[in-house]
Structure formats: structure tokens, C-alpha cells
Structure 1
Amino acid sequence: MALKEIIAIVRPNKMLATKKALEEMGFPSFTAFKVLGRGKQGGRLKELAYRVSPEVAEKLETSSYGFIPKRLLLVVVPEAMVPKVVERIIRVNQSGEHGDGKIFVLPMEGVFRVRTGEEGLEALF
């Protein structure tokens, strides 16, 4: 059975909802990283997870700044499930604002469980 890797970059405040959605679909296992990134808009103040003074906020609103905290998820799924998983991640994370994230789908050459040597789906589930 063909497998695909889904890489999703989402807002930190959407992680719990995304995790729950993946679990409900039967994919409780995935890897998540704290990452920094920025899109073509150059970042938005409301993406920051901490408060800033009004003076700093005014300066940030009139200029772009480095990188915005995001979460990167790696989940491997059977190829037939890719459209449903992608649609669910979009539904959970879509606000219509800049910074909602990106999803990439890549081919997966192989999966192996280190402890047992199992391969493919048996290594995943």
C-alpha cells in the first residue's frame, strides 16, 4: 500500500484542535515541532504568543519583523486517506487570515519500526 507524508504548518493555538481531529480520523501518531517562519506578508502582530507594549505594537504594525512561531506536523497516512486528512487539517486551521499555514504532501518510500523491524502499515499502526 502506498504511503504519503503530510507536512502541515499551523498556528500554535490550533495544535490541540488539529491533534484531536487527527486522532478522530484514526491517526493518533505524528511528530510535531516548534518552528519559526514567515509568509509573504512578513508576519502579523496577533501571531505572537505574548503581549507587547503599545509602543512596540505600533512599531510592529508599521513594519515587518523576523519570524512567527508556528507548529510543524509530520504525519504518514495511506495514500487513499490524503484528501480527507488534508481537508480536515484545513477545516480545523482555516480562519481566512494570513498565517493560517501550509500543507505539503510528499511520497513516502518506506516506514520501519526500529523496535520490531516491522515495515509499512504495520510499522505505523
Structure 2
Amino acid sequence: MKEVVAIIRPNKINATKVALERIGYPGMTAAAVLGRGKQRGIAGECGFCVAPELIAQGKTSGMKYIPKRLIIVVVQSKDVDAVVKTLVGVNRTNQIGDGRIFICPVENAVRVRTGEEGEQAIL
């Protein structure tokens, strides 16, 4: 089993949810998060505009943090490539700030209600 952690744009959360459900992964954990990458913040990520002439002059200093969405999905190891391909397909805009995907090993999972373990707990 693998844990797929994706950091995406807030406006892509619904499309991502639909796309994951389409490939058989309707369950996920999602949270609103703040962060920034090596671009040090992008003013265009938020609901306000920066004048193009200021951008051209380099007079924007970025933002401390940018609102993003964190999605976590635990998947069978054989499905990792399909899930990552789906996440990239939905979230790629070819612009700075499209996000990141991390894949981590999962040693075990336990469904609290039934006590099922391993892949049975995530199916």
C-alpha cells in the first residue's frame, strides 16, 4: 500500500475528487493548507490582481503563504501510477504553483469499525 499526498490549487479540488472517484478511489482526506514553494508566493493564486506594470518592474515581493489543498489517498501499490497520472492530468495548468505529489509507503491500515487490516481496510 502507498499513501499519495498531493498539494493542489484550491480551485481544482472538485475536479480532483470527481476524477479519483472515476478511477475507483472515492475516499480521500482533504484539508485547506497554507504554504509556498521555491517561487516564494504567487500573488495571482489569490482573488486579487497585481497590475501587469508592477510585475514587469519586479515590484511584487510575493506572499508569505499561498492557500492550497492537501489531499491524501491510500491506494493499493498497483494503482499508484494510475492515481498519480489522474492527479497530474487534472491539476496541471503548466503554470508555477500547480503543486506537488508525494508517494509514501504504508505499513498497515486498520478499519476501526470492522478491524479489517491491510488492503482490505482501504477497499
Asked if TM exceeds 0.5, the reply is yes
Asked if residue 116 in structure 1 is aligned to residue 114 in structure 2, the reply is yes
Partner of 2:60: 62
Within 5 A, what are the aligned runs for 1:61-100? 62-100=60-98
Partner of 1:51: 48
Structure 2 residues not aligned, in runs of 5+: none
Higher mean Cα deviation, 38-47 or 8-17?
38-47
**Aligned length, in residue pairs:** 119
Q: Please give the root-mean-square deviation of Cα atoms over the aligned residues, in Å.
A: 1.8
Partner of 1:20: 18
**Residue pair 2:32, 2:68 contacting (<8 A) in 1 also:** yes
**Residue pair 1:6, 1:103 contacting (<8 A) in 2 also:** yes
**Residue pair 2:9, 2:91 contacting (<8 A) in 1 also:** yes
Classify 1:19/1:61 alpha carbon distance in 2 versus 1 (closer, same or farther; 3 Å): farther
Q: What is the deviation of 1:51? A: 3.2
Structure 1 residues not aligned, in runs of 5+: none
Identical residues among aligned pairs (%):
49
**Residue pair 1:38, 1:68 contacting (<8 A) in 2 also:** yes
Q: Deviations over 1:54-113 (max 9, x none)?
A: 6xxx59961122000000011000111101110110010000100000000000010001
**Matched residue type, 1:31:** T
**Residue pair 2:10, 2:68 contacting (<8 A) in 1 also:** yes
Partner of 1:42: 40
